[in-house]
Amino acid sequence: MTSYLLETVKSKFPQHVLETHAFRGDETVMVKKEALPEVAAFLRDSLGFDFLMDLTAVDYLPREPRFELVCHFYSSRHNYRLRLKCPVEGNAPSVASLTPLWAGANWFEREVWDMFGIKFEGHPDLRRILMYDGFEGHPLRKDYPLKKRQPRIQHRD
């Protein structure tokens, strides 16, 4: 079972899969950035992963490529999970949007844009979601200082 899923993805996309591993039972596939929509569509249509449970990113600052986009899929039909990751370079990061495949990706991607500054090509409405207009920078990046505030109105003394 474990190897079956990873093997299927690997044999289907031998040129796109960079790495697979299973740590504590969590199966992970790392693919090239360009192949993300294609692999995700294959997971949904052929392997029965109907839920995009989560979509987020991780900043590994000194390393290059700096970011990793992390998607968690769940199949309610077969009751299994898969993590799909792709590296995203730090200079003008962008990646193709998954909104055409899952409507639920909309807000997840807006949050990743807001917090990490990763652009999603083809996203219908990419704007800040948790922070406000006029906020500069992306707070969950490792180089954003924890306590750097950007008040919208002047504070009293």
Partner 1 sequence: MTNPPTDQQKNWTLEKLEDGRMALNMGPSHPAMHGIVRILLTVDGERVSDADIEIGYLHRGFEKTCETVTYNQCIPYTDRLNYVSPFINNAGFALAVEKLMGIETPARCQYIRVIMSEISRITDHLTCIGANAMELSAFTVYFYLINAREALYRLGDSAAGGRVTPAYARVGGLTRDLPPDFKRDTAEAFKILKKNLDDADKLLTRNRIFYDRLRGTGHISKEDAVALSFTGPALRSTGVPYDVRKASPYLVYDRFDFEVPVGSEGDNYDRYLVRMEEIRQSVRIVEQALAQLPDGPVNHPGYDVILPPKAEVYGGIEALMAHFKLTFEGVKPPKGEIYQAVEGGNGELGFYIVSDGTGNPWRLRVRPPCFSLTGGLANMIKGGYLADIVATFGQINMIGGELER
Partner 2 sequence: MGLETSFGHSYLTTRLDAAVNWARKYSFFNYPFVTACCGMEFMSAFASTYDIARFGAEYPRFSPRQADVLFVVGTVNEKLAPVLRRVYDQMCEPKWVVSFGVCATSGGFYDNYATVQGIDKIIPVDIYIPGCPPRPEAVLDALVKLQQKVDRESVLDRKYK
* Site residues (vs partner 1, CB under 8 A): 23-24, 26, 28, 50-54, 56, 58-60, 70, 72, 76, 79, 81, 83, 102-104, 106-108, 111, 115, 117, 126-133, 136-140, 144, 146
Q: Which residues here bind partner 2, judged by CB under 8 A?
A: 131-132, 139, 144-153, 155-156
Cβ proximity to partner 1, 29 vs 102, nearer residue: 102
CB of 139 to partner 2, least distance (A): 5
Amino acid at 76: S
Write down the residue that tokens 């730090």 correspond to: 90
Cβ proximity to partner 2, 25 vs 151, nearer residue: 151
Residue 88's SS3 state is strand
- What's the 3-state SS for 31-63? ECHHHHHHHHHHHHHCCCCCEEEEEEEEECCCC
Amino acid at 142: K
